[in-house]
């Protein structure tokens, strides 16, 4: 089973368990909203641009709301569980689902997990941990483009610092953020309050980074 399929299955099982009204880390979204977002993302190419382009976001939001109103919650989750149809942007070419959706599903899985009390980070398979780090290194400049300070990411593995680094943004003052790959990825996606990351640098710069609008 690929990493994207494993994350999809685990996320959908958790959505089933929690029901439609549970909180998530996505501001203003419940589990029902998150399920509708994922279904729209994979099944409505016309609404896809609005996920990334602010001017188009109202249309995407309206499509999401209509889908959520039309389908019972179990059916929404089942659409997510089925994965992208063959005709979708993620289903046309073999391997695109794994390439594009692993990070998306991982982050949203954590959005649901970490919105609950007493959560703890998962111990990830080494291959998934490495994959998340590779994706982060590739996309770090994009994720941190709106950071008001410079950012260097330093990876750890458990209690051990690996020595691997990635440049998020080249600017001064700079902050060094240290953590496991999954924690640094959640930081990059703007989940600063729920990412177990340590910071080195000027206290003011650290505070500005922790409040910055990061992510896509």
E-assigned strand segments in the chain: 150-157, 160-169, 174-180, 198-200
CATH number, domain of 206, equals 3.30.1050
Q: Is the peptide bond before 113 cis (omega within 30 degrees of 0)?
A: no
As for how many domains the chain has, the answer is 2
For residue 185, how many other CB atoms are within 10 A of its CB? 25
Does 165 map to a domain? yes
**Among candidates 215, 20, 41, which has minimal Cα distance to 112?**
20
**Structural domain range at position 42:** 3-113
Asked which of 82, 113, 144 is the last residue of a domain, the reply is 113
Beta strands 198-200 and 174-180, pairing class: antiparallel
**Do 89 and 16 share a domain, yes or no?**
yes
**Do 11 and 107 share a domain, yes or no?**
yes
**Do 182 and 90 share a domain, yes or no?**
no
5-21 residue pLDDT tens: 999 999 999 999 999 99
Does 118 map to a domain? no
DSSP 88-120: STTTSSTTHHHHHHHHHHHHHHHHHHTTSTT--
Does 22 map to a domain? yes
Does 190 map to a domain? yes
**Do 44 and 82 share a domain, yes or no?**
yes
Does 109 map to a domain? yes
Helices 31-43, 57-70: crossing angle, 10 deg rounding: 110
**Do 73 and 167 share a domain, yes or no?**
no
166-185 residue pLDDT tens: 888 998 999 999 999 999 99
Asked which of 91, 113, 135 is the last residue of a domain, the reply is 113
pLDDT value at 85 more than 90 = no
55-70 residue pLDDT tens: 999 999 999 999 999 9
Could you tell me what percent of the chain has a pLDDT over 70? 97
Distances (CA, A) of 132 to 24, 82, 112: 21, 23, 18
**Do 108 and 136 share a domain, yes or no?**
no
Does 93 map to a domain? yes
Distance separating alpha carbons of residues 91 and 97, to the nearest angstrom: 7
């Amino acid at each position: 089973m690929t990493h994207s399929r494993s994350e999809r299955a685990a996320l959908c099982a958790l959505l089933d368990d929690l029901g439609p009204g549970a909180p998530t880390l996505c501001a203003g979204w419940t589990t029902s909203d998150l399920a509708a977002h994922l279904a729209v993302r994979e099944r409505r190419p016309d609404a896809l641009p609005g996920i990334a382009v602010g001017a188009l976001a109202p249309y995407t939001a309206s499509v999401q709301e209509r889908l959520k109103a039309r389908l019972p919650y179990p059916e929404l989750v089942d659409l997510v569980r089925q994965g992208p149809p063959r005709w979708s942007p993620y289903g046309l070419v073999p391997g695109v689902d794994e390439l594009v959706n692993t990070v998306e599903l991982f982050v949203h899985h954590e959005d649901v997990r970490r919105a609950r009390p007493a959560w703890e980070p998962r111990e990830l398979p080494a291959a998934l941990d490495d994959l998340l780090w590779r994706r982060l290194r590739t996309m770090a400049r994009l994720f941190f483009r709106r950071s008001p300070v410079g950012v260097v990411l330093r990876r750890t593995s458990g209690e051990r610092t690996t020595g691997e680094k990635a440049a998020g943004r080249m600017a001064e003052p700079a902050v060094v953020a240290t953590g496991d790959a999954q924690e640094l990825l959640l930081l990059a996606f703007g989940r600063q309050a729920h990412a177990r990351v340590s910071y080195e640098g000027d206290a003011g710069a650290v505070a500005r980074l922790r409040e910055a609008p990061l992510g896509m």
